[in-house]
Amino acid sequence: MNASVVDPRLEGRSVKRIAFPADLIAARVAELGRDITAAYPDGDLLVLGLLKGSFIFLSDLVRCIHRPLKVDFLVASSYGNETVSSGFVRLVYDPETELEGKHILLVEDIVDSGRTLSRVMALLQERHPRSLEVCALLDKHIATHLTYPPKFSGFDAPHEFLVGYGLDHAESFRHLPYIASLQ
């Protein structure tokens, strides 16, 4: 959709286009769930959501993973109220779950600069998990320096500022059922 989108949930703003409609997201999340189920046939699996952006994706994803698992969260911030990462990563909440010896799957909404992801993965690796991988809903493919690139990726993201399905701008628009390019 190329015309501006008018939606009452947009608080009087419009978006340039819907990049990923809700039905396409749902189908891809189901595929990711099947892939993750097959990739982890045994062992303790901890699905670790990187908040706040991943919470909607994570909740849909874990319901599509058909094996025992546990869920926990961590919070890291690098955007604040801006549309570009500040480059400074601040950990706000650290998971309380024991990570040693477990398969850890970090669920991220979008891989953009990779700064947050690199910082978080280094922290998690120090806790001696059995394995450590990333599942990202969106990947902009601009973070070429990552030690842990996403093993599971939903979509290649356009180089636009995206909102919806957990992605926000200044804490708004997370609740949209689609992903759109902000005007």
What positions carry a catalytic annotation? 112
Q: Which of 128, 163, 121 is nearest to 143 (CA)?
A: 121
For 60, the token pair is 């849909």
CB 57 within 8 Å of CB 108: no
**Cα–Cα dist 51/56, whole Å:** 10
**Cα–Cα dist 38/172, whole Å:** 35
Q: Is 22 exposed, middle or buried (0-12, 13-18, 19+ CB in 10 A)?
A: middle
DSSP class of residue 71?
E
Element (H, E) at 32: helix 22-39
